[in-house]
Chain A
Amino acid sequence: MPDGQSEKTENEAMPMPPQAPTGPAFAYFDQDEEAKALGLFEILSEDSSYDPANTARFDKALSLDLYRGMLLTRLMDKQFMALQRQGVLGFYAETLGQEAAGIGSAAALSSQDWLVPALREHGAGLYRGMDFGNFVAQLFGNANDVTRGRQMPLHPSDPATRYVNMSSCIATQLPHAMGIAMGIQIAGDGSEVCMGYMGDGATSEAEFHVAMNFAGVRKAPVVMVCQNNQWAISTPGTGQTASETIAVKGLGYGIESLRADGNDILAVYEVSKYAVEKARRGDGPTFIELLTYRVSAHTSSDDPSRYRDESVTKVWRTKRDPLVRMRVFLEKNGWLSEADFEAMVTQIEAMVRKSVEKQRDVTMPPLSSLIQDVFQTPWWRLEEQLATLEAIVD
C-alpha cells in the first residue's frame, strides 16, 4: 500500500462544513420556470452590499468556513502554479476567480453525499475533507498516490469523501453522476444526494444531454452544477450555444433550473442548498448555472491573450473577485480581522509547503503497478509483458 493511505490526514484543520440553520425564503425561487432560468440570483452585490434579512443563515462559523475554503483554493493554486512554472509539476489548472462557485456549491452537501467533479473542483474536494497529502501525491503521481500515478495532475480520487475519480474527457462524468443518483434512488436509504459538475463547454456534449434527460425522466436525486466561466479554452459562451442562458437548457428536460451569481458565495450556497434539500426530499433533480469567469488561463499550457480581451478579465479579477466580496462581508460583521486573515494565510501556505516538501522527492510507483487494476487480476499476457519489461530494466 502506498504510504499515502496510511498517512495521517494533513488537513485535519478542515472539518466538514458546518450545517447552516434554515435560510430565509427568497422570492426568486417562487418565480415561474423560465424566470428562474433566465434570471440571476444574488445576495452579496458586487460592492458587497446586502440585505441583512437575506444573510441570516450565514453565522460566523459557516461564513468563515466558506471563506477559508476559497482562500485555500486560491493560495494553493498559486503555489502549485508556481511549481508548474518551475518544472516541478507537469501540469496544473487554476480555478482563479471561480472559488465561490466550487466551494459554495459543495458546501451545501453533507458528508454522505457524492461529488462528481469536472476539471475545477479540486478545491471543493479538499474543502469537503479530501486528504491533502493524497491530493499532492496525485499531483506528483508518485508512489504515495492512491491512484498509482495513472493520470495527469489534478485528477484526484477520494472514495472516503465520495469524491469520484475523474477523467480528462469533457462531460463523461455527467451520466455517471446521474447514475449514482439512480443508484441512490433504487438502493439507498434516501439520505444521499449526488452533485455533478461541468463547465459551460461541457453542456455542448452529448453526455450532458443524455444525463439531463435521464435525470428528468427518472426524477433522480442529482444536482447538476454548471460553472459557467464563459470560456472553454478559446471558445467564448456565444460560440458554445445560442441559448439565452445555460440554465434555460434544463427546461428542455423538465428540470427546475436556477441561475446564480457564481462569484457571490452566499448566493451560490443558497441555490445549492435549495437544490440539495429538494433532492434529499425526493423532489427530483435541479440544474444550476453559476455565472462566473475564468480569470486564469485554461491550464498551464494555455495563453489566453491570444484569443480574448484581457481588459474584461481584469474587471472580473478586481471588481468581481469572489474572495474580496466575501471578505468585505466578514469584515462588516466583525468576523475577520487583519490578523485573523494573516494567520489563515500563514497556516494554509505552511500546510501546502509542508505537503509539497513531503511529496516532491518520493519515488515513482513501482514497475509492477503498471499491470495492476487493468482487471482485478492480470491475465497471462500482462504478466508476460511485465516480465519482458523487468528483464530490460534490470
Chain B
Amino acid sequence: MPTMNIIQAVNNALRIQMALEPKSIVLGEDVGKFGGVFRATSGLYDEFGEERVIDTPLAEAGIIGAAIGMAVYGMRPIPEIQFSDFIFPAFDQIVNELAKFRYRSGGQYPCPVVIRTPVGGGIRGGHYHSQSPEALFVHTPGIKVVIPSNPYDAKGLLLSCLRQDDPVLFMEPKKIYRASRGDVPENDYTVELGKAKVTREGDQVTLIAYGAMLHVIEEAAAKAAEIGISCEVIDLRTLMPFDIETITESVTKNGRAVMVHEAPQTCGYGAEICSSLYERCMAHLEAPIGRVCGFDTPFPYSLEHEYMPNAARVLGAIRKTLEW
C-alpha cells in the first residue's frame, strides 16, 4: 500500500473521481497548469484538460457563483479557495446562495458543490494565511463541513463528499498537509460522513478534536499516559452533521472531557460540542468540560506558537478536569 501525505491523498481522490464522473470540474485560482499553490490539483490539468480543470480569474465570488451555476446545470463542480482566509469574498455566495439553494427552491435545485480549502495556522502565515473559520459555516444550515486529520480519511471523506448531493466545505488542515503521512490504498474507497472515529481508547478523559489538532490531542494523550492518565481520543472528522453518538457514549463512560480547536474560543465550534454534551451527559459528568482553543484575537504572526493549542496546554486542561 503506498504511503501518501494529505495533499497526495486529496489529489488521488480528485483523480479517481474526475476519471469516474465526467461531470466533475475543478476550478479555482492557479489550480491548472500550476497544480494549485499546495499542489493538491497537480497533474489534473494534463490528465483532464483545461475544460475540466479551470484556472479562473482572481475572484472567489466568481469561483463559487460559477460553481453553483454549474451544479444547478447538473455538473459536479469542485472549486478550490486558495486559502480559507480568502473565502470571504465568496461568503455571500456560500451563505446566501449555495447553502440555501435546495431549500429555497423547495428541493428543485440541489447544489452538489464541494469546496476545498486549506485551513488553519502553524505555517507562519500570519493573519491571512492561518485562520480557522469553520464555525461560521457550521452555523449556516444547508452546508456540510468536513475536516480530515490524516491522508486515509482525507481521501475517503473527500470521495464521500463528491458522491452525495449536498454542498460541502471540505477544509484541509494545511499545517499537516505534508507532515501527516500514512498508508492510503490506491483503490476507490469512502469514509462515511457524519461519523467520528475513536483513535485511542481510554477510560478517564475524553479528548475531542479535528484536523491538525487531532495530532495535538494524540500527543497530549500519549504524555498523559506516561503519567498514568488514560485518555480516549476522538477525531470528529465531520463537523456538520457531527457524530453525537460517539462523543456522548465516550463522555458518558468517562465523565470527563476536553474539547480542542485552534479557532478562537468564543462561539467556537467547541461551544456547540460542549453544550450538546451537557444536554446529554450532565448526570455522568464529573467535571466541567475543558476547552483548549485559539485565543479571541486575530491570528498572530510572530507569536503563533503561543497562540496555537499545544500538548502542554491540553495536558493542563486534562489535569484540571481530573483535579476538579
Binding site for B on A (CB under 8 A): 90-91, 141-142, 145, 148-152, 155, 167-171, 201-202, 204-207, 232-235, 239-241, 301, 306-307, 364-365, 367, 369-371, 374, 381-382, 385-386, 388-389, 391-393
Contacts and interface: CB of A to CB of B under 8 A. Distances in A.
Given A152-B125, A382-B295, 4 more contacts: A149-B303, A152-B126, A170-B86, A233-B29
B295 A169 contact: no
Contacts of B124: 90-91, 152
A201 B29 CA distance: 10
19 contacts: A91-B124, A141-B301, A151-B127, A167-B128, A168-B126, A207-B89, A234-B32, A235-B29, A239-B56, A306-B35, A307-B34, A365-B302, A367-B306, A370-B300, A382-B297, A385-B265, A385-B295, A385-B296, A393-B306
B89 A142 contact: no
B313 interface: yes
Contact of B37 (A151, A207, A301, A367): A301
A167 B296 contact: no
Given A207-B89, A234-B33, A370 B297 contact: yes
Contact of A233 (B37, B88, B126, B306): B37
Nearest to A365: B302
B85 interface: yes
Interface in B284-307: 295-298, 300-303, 306-307
Given A141-B301, A370-B295, A370-B307, A205 B58 contact: yes
A149 B300 contact: yes
A370 B303 CA distance: 7
B58 A170 contact: yes
A150 B265 contact: no
A155 B126 contact: yes
B61 interface: yes
Contacts, number: 123
Contacts of B59: 204-206
A201 B124 CA distance: 24
A-B CB proximity, top 9 nearest: A149-B302, A234-B34, A168-B128, A204-B57, A141-B302, A152-B126, A201-B58, A151-B126, A204-B58
B85 A169 contact: yes
Contacts of A385: 265, 295-296
B89 A205 contact: yes
Contact of B300 (A150, A155, A168, A241): A150
Nearest to B34: A234
Nearest to B299: A150
Contact of A374 (B37, B57, B296, B302): B296
B299 to A, nearest CB: 9
Given A204-B57, A207-B89, A235 B296 contact: no
B126 A240 contact: no
A149 B127 CA distance: 10
Nearest to B61: A206
Contact of B297 (A204, A206, A371): A371
Contact of B129 (A168, A202, A204, A206): A168
A155 B129 CA distance: 13
Interface string B261-278: 000011000000000000
Contacts of B225: none
Contacts of B37: 233, 301
Contacts of B129: 152, 168
A381 B296 CA distance: 8
Contacts of A239: 55-57
B282 to A, nearest CB: 24
B34 A167 contact: no
A367 B295 CA distance: 12
Contacts of B306: 367, 370, 389, 393
A234 B30 contact: yes
Nearest to B37: A233
B55 A235 contact: yes
A17 B66 CA distance: 46
B22 interface: no
A149 B303 CA distance: 8
Contacts of B295: 370-371, 382, 385-386, 389
